[in-house]
Amino acid sequence: MTHRSPFARLKAFGRADKSPLRLGPKPEPGARVLCVASGKGGTGKSVLATNLAVTRARGGERVLLVDFDAGLANAHLLLGLAPQHDMGHVMEGRVRPQEALVDGPFGMKLLSGGVGRAALVNPTRRELDRLFKALRSLESEFDLVIVDHGAGMGYGMVAHLAATSTLLLVTNHEVTALSDGYAVYKRAHMVNPGIRVGLVVNRVPDEHLSRAAFDRFSAASRRFLGHQPEFVGWVPADPAVSHSVQVRVPVVIDSPESEAARSFARIAAWAPIDQARTASAFYEKARKALR
14 part of a folded domain: no
Range of the domain at 108: 33-289
pLDDT of residue 63: 98
> 102 forms bridges with which residues in the sheet?
110
pLDDT cut 70: percent of the chain above it: 87
25 part of a folded domain: no
13 pLDDT more than 60:
no
> 291 forms bridges with which residues in the sheet?
none
pTM (2 decimals)?
Answer: 0.89
Across the chain, mean pLDDT equals 88
pLDDT of residue 116: 64
214 pLDDT more than 50:
yes
pLDDT band at 206 (very low <50, low <70, confident <90, very high): very high
For the segment 220-241, the average pLDDT, to the nearest whole number, is 97
Between CA 290 and CA 127 the distance in angstroms is 11
185 pLDDT more than 50:
yes
Condensed to tens digits (0 to 9), the pLDDT of residues 42-62 reads 899 999 999 999 999 999 999
pLDDT band at 71 (very low <50, low <70, confident <90, very high): low
pLDDT of residue 19: 37
155 part of a folded domain: yes
From the centroid of its chain, how far is CA 45?
A: 9
128 pLDDT more than 60:
yes
Between CA 76 and CA 115 the distance in angstroms is 10
140 part of a folded domain: yes
For the segment 107-129, the average pLDDT, to the nearest whole number, is 84
Residue pair 250/78 in contact by the 8 Å Cβ criterion = yes
22 part of a folded domain: no
Number of structural domains the chain divides into: 1
27 part of a folded domain: no
pLDDT of residue 146: 98
31-58 core/surface letters (b: 16 or more CB in 10 A; e: else): bbbbbbbbbbeebbbbbbbbbbbbbbbb
pLDDT band at 70 (very low <50, low <70, confident <90, very high): low
pLDDT cut 90: percent of the chain above it: 77
**CA-to-CA dists, residue 78 to 60, 225, 243, 249, angstroms:** 21, 36, 11, 6
50 part of a folded domain: yes
For the segment 154-160, the average pLDDT, to the nearest whole number, is 89
CATH (domain of 154): 3.40.50.300
23 part of a folded domain: no
pLDDT band at 118 (very low <50, low <70, confident <90, very high): low
